[in-house]
Structure 1
């Protein structure tokens, strides 16, 4: 497991699963001739995407950024359509750190699409149960409302089994929420109407978790939005705002989906000055390693 210390915050990437999605969908209107130079793909034009929660240990608390792909919740058809090659093994990752799911104090949910929220619950004999039963679950009010009442488009990713067992743990917020000193969740919209990012500032130390507004290092260009984005113009404007802010503060950017980098630090001009590579192994249908 890769770790990164930024000021008071220690970040550790857990194993939340992996899937392969269409590269064109992940880069929207950007031609393959461009995105193909930035992110490896297989012969089906699919790209490898992690779904790895980040354990944030800060001020004596254990926070988890998103929850992974989960286990035993997808049908064979969903596994095939979503290109899932590996389910979550978060319990094993936590055990290697001397922790259990019960030790997580809060879940910081950037949004509630299935690949971020399936790990919140697990199958039991009579349905589904909370995995992190001692954790407060923070998510924007807009996202929480749509999760429970999805529209014709979002019904494909907002599932009752991911929210109903944990509804008593959820504490939604409006606009912005201070989690602890220096750590905020900020509602941005864009990828989903309720999408949020995380901002941490501790003196000269800054990191920003852009979640699915910038899901991989290859999405650094502020104009590169996903075809999956419900509000792509909002994504572009929010990325422009937070990339400018991060560059000015030489911030680290952390990733949930990137199969190659866990985090990258950029300077004032947007040039890479440091990085945390992901320890990785090859899948058979993977075209090349970067």
Structure 2
């Protein structure tokens, strides 16, 4: 597991599983000769996308960003369609840190698509129960409402198995919420109507997790948005605002999906100046 520290903050990437999604869908209208120079693709036209939650330890609290794809939550057809070659082993990752799911205080969910939210619940015999039994789960009110009442498009990714067991754990917000001093969630829309990002300001250092409006380092171009985005112009506007502000602040960009970088900094030319790389990449 990769880990780095900044002041009182410790970031650790847990093993949340891996998917292989269609590269064309992940880069939308961008031609393959362009995006494939920045992110490798296999012979099935799939790109590797991790689903690794970020554990933040700060002020005696344990926070997770996202929850992974879970274990035993997908059938064989779903595994094939989403290119799942490895499911979550969150409990094993936590055990290596002398922690358990009971020690997680908060889970910050940028949105509730299956590849982010399947890890929120687990099987206990024939019953689905909360994975993080003591955690408060934060997500935007818009996202939570759509999760429970999906439309004809979103019903394929918002599953009742991922929300019904956690109803009593969820706390929603409108435009912004500060969950701990300096750690904020901001509603952006774009990828989904309720999509949010996370910013952290600590001792003069800045961090940003842009979730699925910039799922990998190869999506730094503001116009490179996903075919999966429900509101692509909202994604573009959010990227214009937040990427520039973060680069101007010399911020760390944190990734959940990237198969190569856990975190990085860019200069104004979008050249990587500092990085935390994944130990084992494709």
Normalising by structure 2, what TM-score?
0.98
Alignment of 1:99-248 (within 5 A): 99-248=99-248
For 1:268 and 1:278, how far apart are their aligned partners in 2?
Answer: 24
Q: Distance in 2 between matches of 1:58 and 1:279?
A: 24
| Offset, 1:269 | 4.1
Partners of 1:42 and 1:270 lie apart in 2 by: 26
RMSD between superposed Cα atoms in Å: 1.0
Where in structure 1 do 4 or more consecutive aligned residues deviate above 2 Å?
A: 124-127, 267-271
Corresponding position of 2:23? 23
Distance in 1 separating the partners of 2:200 and 2:8: 10
Unpaired runs of 5+ residues, structure 2, are none
Tell me if structure 1 keeps the 8 A contact 2:259–2:281. no
| 3-state SS in 2 of match to 1:86 | coil
Residue in 2 that maps onto 1:41: 41
Quote the residue 2:87 is aligned against.
87
TM-fit CA distance, 1:76: 1.1
Q: Secondary structure of 2:85's match?
A: strand
Question: Which string of whole-angstrom CA distances, capped at 9 and with x for unpartnered residues, describes residues 226-260 of structure 1?
Answer: 00000011001101100110011000000000001
Counterpart CA distance in 2 for 1:265 and 1:33 is 25
**1:167 aligns to what SS in structure 2?**
helix
- Alignment: residue pair count: 282
Question: Which deviates more, 176-185 or 123-132?
Answer: 123-132
**Are residues 40 and 115 of structure 1, via their aligned partners in 2, closer, same or farther at CA, if it must alter by over 3 Å?**
same
Q: Distance in 2 between matches of 1:214 and 1:7?
A: 26
CA distance in 2, matches of 1:102, 1:35: 41
- Aligned partners of 2:260 and 2:281 also within 8 Å: no
Shift, 1:271, TM fit: 2.7
Tell me, in whole angstroms, the C-alpha distance in 2 between the residues paired with 1:35 and 1:100: 39
- Whether 1:279 aligns to 2:255 is no
SS at 1:197 equivalent: strand
Does the aligned pair in 2 maintain the 1:187–1:197 contact within 8 Å? Answer: yes
Alignment deviations for residues 95-114 of structure 1 (CA, whole Å, 9 cap, x no partner): 00110000000000010000
Query: Is the 1:265–1:274 Cα contact (8 Å) retained in structure 2?
Result: yes
The 8 Å contact of residues 54 and 66 in structure 1, kept in 2 or not, is answered as: yes
